[in-house]
Chain A
Amino acid sequence: MVQNLKTDVLVIGAGPAGSMTAKWAAKNGARVLMIEKRQEIGSPVRCGEGMSKSWLPEVGITPGAWVNLEVEGARIFSPREQVFEINEKHAGNEVGYVVERDGFDKALAIDAANAGTEIRLKTAATGILKEGGRVAGARVKQFGEPFEIRATVTIGADGFESQVGRWAGLPTNIALRDMDTCLQYRMTNVDCDTRYCDFYLGEVAPGGYVWVFPKADGLANVGIGVQLSKVRGMADPRTYLDAWIAKHPAYSKGKTIDVVGGGVSISQPVKQSVTDGLMLVGDAARMIDPLTGGGIANGCIAGKICGEVAAQAVHAGDPSRAFLDRYEKGWRAKLEEKLYRNWYAKEKLCTLSDATFDKIIDALQGVRLEKLSVHNILKAVHDKYPDVTKEFEAFL
């Protein structure tokens, strides 16, 4: 019989958002227990592994062995495969590193452990505990043995397929147009330019894009996201990705050494991320950037705030929704405006035809943008194809 446990802060899920939350809660003096259902933190990888880097210092992450490659910029390919290059300075560091995601997750968990977090693997949450109307921990199974963990504050950092939020009645459901179904091959022996992360737009990936993120030693992550509302048959991501690779000799000559799949939310963030005794963070709170599909930066930025507020709630002896609301306000102040803006941009981009994408990228040929912004891009497009920008007047 396993003994029931008590802790100040229970973090469910040891991905980047969970580890960041755990680290900052522990650093601020709370007793923290982080549980992870898998047997290995960070594995199997479910990620394209492209990551921006400007945000790392503010959340206290030091680049380590998990950096596989540093890229100079991104290239956007139109359906005709004209290229628009965004260098790092103009991209606002949207891309920066291609990482070893399993190593990254482990490094963050080690940071959390060094700050005093206790970690238990092979420990899955099976339900939440409630006490006087508030969430008070979770029922778990460690190596199959059921027991309870009572906590002052519980954190749902359980990713895209979050159960914790649903158990607590938080509105995490997403619409078909707000999810991409993704598939990626890690390939070896490919010819790609290791200076860039590449994105291919249009009907090659309806409602999403094909990406090629280079890695060292002739490796690359070649993947696709397809918007669920545009899926027509079974296994569309595989069908589209295989078709795209077949048309690109630089990649069709490669060999796949790993297949990665997963769901990515491209939605607005959750309307409510806290309730009495509980906070949601990262993909579980739908913090993924709906335009890029990137979730690591936002999860870590929110995770730091989440951990700090969790510790404050413990010290104040007050895990009420009213108290935890400072987390809700904190992460929204930092992330929400961009999440909504990018959601609207995504909604618009999803409606564009290949011909329109071609015109946009064509209009940007040879244009030197002082600063990369939606406004500047549209202005450049307007100069060459005024008819195209009619659809975008709302952004101008």
Chain B
Amino acid sequence: MVNKKSLHIESSGQLCIYCGACVGICPLNCIYLDETRITFDERVCTRCEICVKACPVGAIEIG
């Protein structure tokens, strides 16, 4: 079992503006945008943190 850092996408609307920047840049195509819901595939994500950089409003955190 690989111990991965936790990734949190704040997509309840407090920060996220559903722009899709994270979806487009994800090199593994594991982030999904469904109008007002963003999800990611925990199993595929390698925590490369590119989406954290891509988010213009800082709605993605890795801890």
Task: Show the binding face of A for B, using Cβ within 8 Å.
Answer: 37-39, 44, 46, 124, 159-163, 166, 173-174, 176, 179, 181-183, 228, 231, 233-238, 259-263, 265
Contact = CB atoms under 8 A, between A and B. Distances in A.
Interface string B23-63: 11101010001110000000000000010111111101100
B57 A261 contact: yes
Contacts of B34: 37, 124
Contacts of A38: 35
> A-B pairs with the 6 shortest C-beta distances?
A235-B58, A263-B21, A261-B19, A234-B58, A161-B23, A161-B24
A181 B56 contact: yes
B54 A263 contact: yes
Given A124-B34, A263-B19, A238 B24 contact: no
B56 A182 contact: yes
B25 to A, nearest CB: 6
Given A46-B19, A176-B50, 8 more contacts: A37-B35, A161-B23, A176-B25, A182-B21, A228-B53, A238-B56, A262-B56, A263-B20
Contacts of A163: 29
Contacts of A234: 52, 55, 58, 60-61
B52 A181 contact: no
A236 B60 CA distance: 13
A205 to B, nearest CB: 12
Interface residues of B, number: 24
B7 interface: no
B22 to A, nearest CB: 8
Contact of B21 (A37, A39, A173, A262): A262
A235 B56 contact: yes
Nearest to B22: A263
Contacts of B29: 163, 166
B10 to A, nearest CB: 11
Nearest to A172: B24
A237 B56 contact: yes
9 contacts: A166-B29, A176-B53, A179-B24, A179-B25, A181-B21, A228-B53, A234-B61, A263-B22, A265-B24
A231 B51 CA distance: 11
Contacts of B53: 176, 181, 228, 231, 236
Nearest to B31: A161
A228 B50 contact: yes
B58 to A, nearest CB: 3
B43 to A, nearest CB: 17
Nearest to B34: A124
Contacts of B54: 179, 181, 228, 231, 263
B24 A183 contact: no
Nearest to A264: B21
Contacts of B20: 46, 159-161, 262-263
A159 B19 CA distance: 11
A219 B23 CA distance: 30
Contacts of A160: 20-21, 24
Contact of A238 (B52, B57, B61): B57
